[in-house]
Amino acid sequence: MRKTRRRNIKITISLAHYFTTDKMNNFSYTQAATAKEATGIRKDKADAAYIAGGTTLLDLMKAHLEEHSQLVDINALPFRGIEQTKDGLRIGAMERMSDVGENALVLQQYPAVSESLLLAASPQLRNMASIGGNMLQRTRCGYFRDAAFPCNKRVPGSGCPAIAGDNHNLAILGTSDACIATAYPGDLSVALAAFDAVLTLENAKGKQRRVPVTEFYLLPGKTPQKETVLEPGELIVAVTIPAAPHAQRSTYLKVRERSSYAYALASAAVGLDVQAGTIRSARVALGGVGAQPWRSSEAEKVLTGAPATEATFRAAAAAALRGAQPYKENAFKVELAQNTLVQALLKVAG
């Protein structure tokens, strides 16, 4: 759509041509000029949704998994920039994935973050998708994505058919009897969780709060429909990653069923600070195997103070997966995740 200076544009759009049914999804569209305007709409209108790149939201709407009476375009909001601050590297939530992944500061100081972005999706999607939107993408569980099946994420209390069904690509860490999905299916938040990144959130009153990425995502428990700590109307403004030696010496390793445009069966974001052959500090997070981006303090404890050897790395991998609860079709993920972590650590140790 051609840009316009009008602040509010209300358009009724029929998406019927996207569907295999006759059902239509009509909604209004508003371009928000300020954060206050955008958050105010969402706070007052529970079924409104923010749209930036739209690479996830439109898919969900086309499949009738989400229906919104209003879309609030936030592309005009000033949540941009990649800059060094006293707290670390600050990345605006409206920055595009490709721009962040190719940024010189990110490449030099946080190679694992850059790799997590450039291994995701396709170049076309990375050019469109925003950092904030990527962090809010929803599970790729086939039962969630197919409205013909019950799903506790879509309809609380309806059941989780994945437990006894097709669960080969679902979680083995942090699950519950209500949901075993890998709730966040992407790559970026795994790397951000590893390196102590903090989100800045803003509400309809203009008040901001800071939330560590490790506390942003919620485990399913009995309420799998609640995926993050975002409150009604809140926006992700920015993410800040602290500077650290283990962040500079880091990598993101992703194992998937095909070489491109595929979600991880298992992934590992790791960073090491090694001095004279001894690990002074370590960071480990796993993707593709957890009900949230899975930071492993157990693995980090094994690594810290130990020699940077393959034996140490295998002990850390065993610790990281010790609490795994695999199901019939995804038990292979235990060994796969362990080997992925070991290979990532060997790569970083050099």
What pLDDT does residue 20 have? 44
pLDDT number for residue 12: 38
Least confident of 6-15, 104-113, 154-163, 266-275: 6-15
Q: What is the pLDDT of residues 323-342, one digit of tens each?
A: 999 999 999 999 999 999 99
pLDDT value at residue 71: 96
pLDDT single digits (tens) 190-229:
999 999 999 999 999 999 999 999 999 999 999 999 999 9
The pLDDT score that the predictor gives to residue 260 is 85
Sorted by where each starts, the structural domains of the chain and their CATH numbers stand as 16-73 (3.30.43.10), 245-349 (3.30.390.50)
Percent residues over pLDDT 90 in the chain:
89
**Token pair for 78:** 């000033």
Residue 46: what pLDDT?
85
Q: Are 54 and 73 in contact (CB under 8 A)?
A: no
pLDDT of 132-177, one tens digit each?
999 999 999 999 999 999 999 999 999 999 999 999 999 999 999 9
Whether residue 202 contacts residue 39, with contact meaning beta carbons closer than 8 Å, is answered with: yes
Cβ atoms of residues 161 and 201 within 8 Å: no
Mean pLDDT, range 43-55, rounded to an integer: 92
Residues 6+ apart with CB under 8 A from 65: 144, 145, 147, 154
- The per-residue pLDDT for range 230-281, each reduced to its tens digit, is 998 899 999 999 999 999 999 999 999 998 889 999 999 999 999 999 999 9
What residues pair up with 294 in beta bridges, in sequence order?
A: 286
pLDDT of residue 76: 97
**Chain position carrying tokens 């039962």:** 143
Q: Residue 271: phi, psi to the nearest 5?
A: -145, 140
For residue 113, is pLDDT > 70?
yes
Instruction: Identify the pLDDT of residue 23.
Output: 66
Q: What pLDDT is stored for residue 3 in this prediction? A: 40
pLDDT score of 25: 77
Question: Residue 290 corresponds to which tokens in the numbers above?
Answer: 């957890």
Per-residue exposure over 164-182, b if at least 16 CB sit within 10 Å of its own CB, e if not: eeebebbbbbbbbebbbbb
Give residue 110's pLDDT band: very low, low, confident or very high (50, 70, 90): very high
